[in-house]
A = this chain, B = another copy of it.
């Protein structure tokens, strides 16, 4: 096995989030399925943006958010993803640099700007995302550095990569490299609509290639096309080495063969914006796991990180997450 330099290396679509509050009627008028993530071309993204109120911009991208949380917890992380060298690209890079996440991917050329995700937050704190990948689309197998992959305990991939063929190839190549180097491969299913788009492929991946799976209730039910959470749970426990199934305020279930842990959600005074809840759960779990903590404790850290991020706008932690986890774990 190569020398270990990172606890986790993540690959994802590098995006800047534009958070805007909207009414439910706006989502209906625009025919945007609430809670989902839609991919659109630049022109459509621009047209929608023009109809929105003022927003707040911040670094995002599902896997980018996870790596930010992971580093905030004290984990050693690396990130692979494509930005352009423009305002948003520099912000994205800065925010990872500031947390000590290694980010060596060569910037994209000038064909497309750094990708952006319009995050529409409705009054019930749900978010509906409209993503224009932009420069993130330029991620190809050439961006996968075998040395970096071999140097990380866990490779973490976001399901959204499956929306593009080149990224899917990069994904497969990275997975093969990790396994060849004796490393583990983790995947998040990303969202229910993403599972709909790639169900067969995701199923065979989960059955044959994934060691650690992250999915929320909607995603895992969609993967197995079943109606109840318990049915989905029974399916998935036959496959992955570890599966973490998250259920919002109902907490999460962590499965590993016969080992099953039910982890409570961390109570939050006011749920402001659920953006990033799944990303931060993954950050917390992977941090615990790579520190050698047991599955229950790792799930608890995931729940603490998720509870923090839904208590404010934005998809990355805003407090000293390390201190928060120390405090909550001792309670």
Q: Contact residues of A with B, CB < 8 Å?
A: 18, 21, 49-50, 52-59, 68, 86-88, 91, 94-95, 97-99, 113-114, 314, 316, 318
Q: Which of B49, B94, B318 is in CB contact (< 8 Å) with A94?
A: B49
Do residues B54 and A95 form an inter-chain contact, with CB atoms below 8 A?
Answer: yes
Do residues A54 and B114 form an inter-chain contact, with CB atoms below 8 A?
Answer: no
B residues in contact with A98, CB < 8 Å: 52-54
**With A and B bound together, what is the CA distance between A86 and B58 in angstroms?**
16
Question: For chain A, what secondary structure do more than half of its interface residues adopt (helix, strand, loop), or is it mixed?
Answer: mixed
Most buried by B among A50, A56, A95, A113: A56
Do residues A50 and B94 form an inter-chain contact, with CB atoms below 8 A?
Answer: yes
Q: Which of B94, B95, B113, B316 is in CB contact (< 8 Å) with A87?
A: B113
User: Which residue in chain B gives the minimum CB-CB distance to A86?
Assistant: B87
Do residues B87 and A54 form an inter-chain contact, with CB atoms below 8 A?
Answer: no
Q: Which of B54, B88, B97, B114 is in CB contact (< 8 Å) with A316?
A: B54
B residues in contact with A49, CB < 8 Å: 94
Do residues A99 and B53 form an inter-chain contact, with CB atoms below 8 A?
Answer: yes
**With A and B bound together, what is the CA distance between A25 and B207 in angstroms?**
52
Distance of A21 from chain B, by nearest CB (Å): 8
Decide: A58 near B56, CB < 8 A? Known: A86-B86, A94-B50: yes
User: Which residue in chain B gives the minimum CB-CB distance to A68?
Assistant: B54
Most buried by B among A98, A113, A314, A316: A98
Do residues B91 and A57 form an inter-chain contact, with CB atoms below 8 A?
Answer: yes
Most buried by B among A21, A91, A114, A318: A91
Do residues B59 and A95 form an inter-chain contact, with CB atoms below 8 A?
Answer: no
B residues in contact with A18, CB < 8 Å: 91
